[in-house]
Chains A and B, each alone.
Chain A
Amino acid sequence: MTAVLGPERLPRSATDRQISGSSTRTATRPAVGVLGALAVVGFFATLLSLAAFHSIVVSGQFEFDRLQGRLEDGHERAQVLRAEVARLESPSRILEVANGRLGMVFPPARVYLPSVTLNDGPTNLKAPEGDPFSGSTR
């Protein structure tokens, strides 16, 4: 490294230092430092807050996507179950099971019992005593 020789600088006298710096340096340096530090801390705190907020928003979006997916799956599942219920209730399946697995046969003649016969008026039944559905009367 090349050095350029120049006149030697003289140090300021202690008196000078005291006169010129005592009123400004001692008052502004700490304030600037503190402000700078606060600014840096504030800056990073803001960044952190933004990151936290962003992560909350992202996780909310994840949850939203997940719930939407579940809703669609639920709709599809409900539709499949609806079809299955209709299949299980269909007379053709019931007949098939009755004839096949259960070995049931049609009766030679079906007799339909009328719910009302001539001159058979409605009978007033006596109401059950107490609560018929409570445990004590079972």
Chain B
Amino acid sequence: MSRQPDGLAVRGRGAGIDVPRYDAYRRFRRRAALVGVLLAGIAGLFGWRLATLQLLDPDRFVAHGELQRIKTVPLQAARGAIVDRNGVDLVLSVPRVSVWANPLQVEDPVRAARVLSSVLDADVSLLEQRLSKDSQFVWLGRQVSDETAEAVLRLGVVGVYFDEEQARVRPGGDSALAVLGRTDIDAKGISGMELVYDSLLSGTDGEKIVERGLRGVSIPGGEYSVEPATHGRTLVLTLDRALQFEAERLLIEGVELADAQGGVLVAMDPATGQILASTTVRRDEDGLVRTSSEHRAVTWTYEPGSIIKPLTFSGVLSEAVAAPETVREVPGRLEVHDATFKDTPAHDPEELTVGDIVRRSSNVGTILWARDLGSEALHEEFREFGLGSVTDLDFPGEARGILEPVGRWSGTSLPTIAIGQGVAVTPLQMLTAYATLANGGIRPAPTLVLGTRDDGGMFSPRRVRPSMTVVSAAVASEVVAMMERVVESGTGTKAQVAGYRVAGKTGTAWKPQSSGGYGSKGDRTYVASFAGFLPAEAPRLAVLVVVDEPAGHSYSGGRAAAPVFAEFARFAVRQLRIPSVDERIGLEHAGRVMAMTPARHRILTEAAEAARLEAAGATIGG
């Protein structure tokens, strides 16, 4: 029902219609239509835009959306640890925080550098330079301690961020550093075992693809896939941490005592060639003797001197030139071409057996027998013992030594080389030669690696390199017997170890001068050494001790090196559970038991399994 105002009503045709209101109504309709069209236009625009986004070019926006939601998280493969033969950690990776900055976000680089330098213990100008760069990323501190990271966090500097990295740590400090080697800041091996087995230790990175919403929360039912990282394998070395530490300690003591410039000690299981300890020490510029980061047991060549004589006589006995009890007259001095060779101490001509010559380390006697053996045979014998060629160790920087071919020998080469001068060897070559004699004439392949262990703990033994027969067991036994007499009553009495029969040989070599020659009496420098093994009747430990440039009266191998050998051997026989003569008699009693640690039991079990697999492989391979 409409109401009509008085005086405005129109009579006649169209009576009842209010004209002004009708106009208003029409205007309203026009406006409504206009607004409708406008809204429809806007809706059309939205529709067109929607169609453009959804139909015409959807991929770009889908990709943009995925970029916002789907994150690829790298899964960093942990670098494998390096452990000793008993499973003790020598090197391992731990998570550490690194500090970085986005210089474009740092408001006041000068002030930020000043406050950060005190916490990060870094140079202010260096930090300021980095923070002022026109870059979005600069490192401020790599692999800092948790305390440092917290201190940086407390500073609240805008534009400073944190990232997690894996840092390489050696819990034992610099012990065995020369063997273990180093990695760079990005955990890539750059020396030692870290370099040789870098690919095994590194592993393979993985990645996780995950769909994330606000604040990084995973979207349920969203994209999720994981390619797990393959962690690096654990490298199991042949080293024994306790032996390694004791070797370092005793060698430092021995070098200090001999007032020498350095030294090398290498210990090996002669049956397997497994290196149990290997250390190098050097006297630094400050006069202190410290362990060196250079593995001189394989990188350093030196003239070995008299410790080569057992190898010479091994050739003499092998070629049946003489027997251990063969007697010959040995003068106190001998002229060969333009050189004179003398025995120390000087003596008149006397009748000496081959065994006496070795026991007294007679240069003249050795040269006489070497001449009977001949250059070719001597060279061949040394070559078969491994002199002049790299070992199977596969260690970076390993030296070959110097053993000239016979064709390049001079008139004095034979007598000189027969007594260990004019020939250069690495300590490891020399020890391997001694291990050959200890091992019944079979030369073992020296190794530093027992095998690897995967993430699940499965052990894979290293493939054992084939051994090589150098001399017969009978000859080796005869040489060992002669070497036993060296320790019993010869030049190596200080190498005796109570309860054990020790075989060994001393060496006191002249060191070549940089100006050429060996210098004259009074200004000569020496390399003192002792190589030996025990128990002589069934050797389980071969050790070489080399003392470089000992000074004073204790410059001989018998005085400078043999005591270090004895001290080390006394410790090693306990650590390796090598029973003494008496203990072995005791072991033969019925009902006697021997305690065994879980670690040792595991190693023996694994070794037995490895041997079984090896045998099976050999059978399959024919």
Contacts and interface: CB of A to CB of B under 8 A. Distances in A.
Contacts of B580: 114
A116 B17 CA distance: 134
Interface residues of A, number: 37
Interface string B267-298: 00000000000000000000000000000000
A80 to B, nearest CB: 5
B325 to A, nearest CB: 31
A91 B242 contact: yes
Contact of A116 (B18, B498, B587): B587
A83 B589 contact: no
B242 A120 contact: no
A90 B172 contact: yes
A104 interface: no
B142 interface: no
Interface stretch (B91-99, B122-130, B485-493, B519-527): B91-99
Interface string A98-115: 000000000000101011
Contacts of A62: 217
A114 B241 contact: no
A1 B24 CA distance: 11
A57 interface: yes
Interface string B54-92: 000000000000000000000000100000000011001
Given A92-B245, A112-B570, A122 B586 contact: yes
Contacts, number: 95
Contacts of A124: 591
A3 B16 CA distance: 9
A135 to B, nearest CB: 28
A39 interface: no
B552 interface: no
B221 interface: yes
Contacts of B586: 115-117, 120-122
Contact of A1 (B2, B17, B592): B2
A53 to B, nearest CB: 10
A26 B219 CA distance: 52
Given A92-B245, A114-B583, A116-B582, A83 B220 contact: no
A5 interface: yes
Contacts of B218: 61, 64-65
Given A91-B242, A91-B246, A121-B589, 13 more contacts: A2-B2, A2-B17, A54-B220, A57-B221, A62-B217, A79-B92, A80-B94, A86-B88, A87-B171, A90-B171, A116-B579, A116-B587, A118-B582
23 contacts: A1-B2, A2-B17, A2-B22, A62-B217, A65-B218, A76-B94, A79-B93, A79-B95, A83-B92, A86-B172, A90-B173, A91-B175, A91-B242, A92-B245, A112-B570, A115-B586, A116-B583, A116-B585, A116-B586, A117-B586, A118-B582, A120-B586, A124-B591
* Ranked 9 nearest A-B pairs via Cβ: A116-B586, A3-B2, A86-B171, A86-B89, A87-B171, A91-B245, A90-B172, A61-B220, A57-B220
Interface of A: 1-3, 5, 54, 57-58, 60-62, 64-65, 76, 79-80, 82-83, 85-87, 89-93, 95, 110, 112, 114-118, 120-122, 124
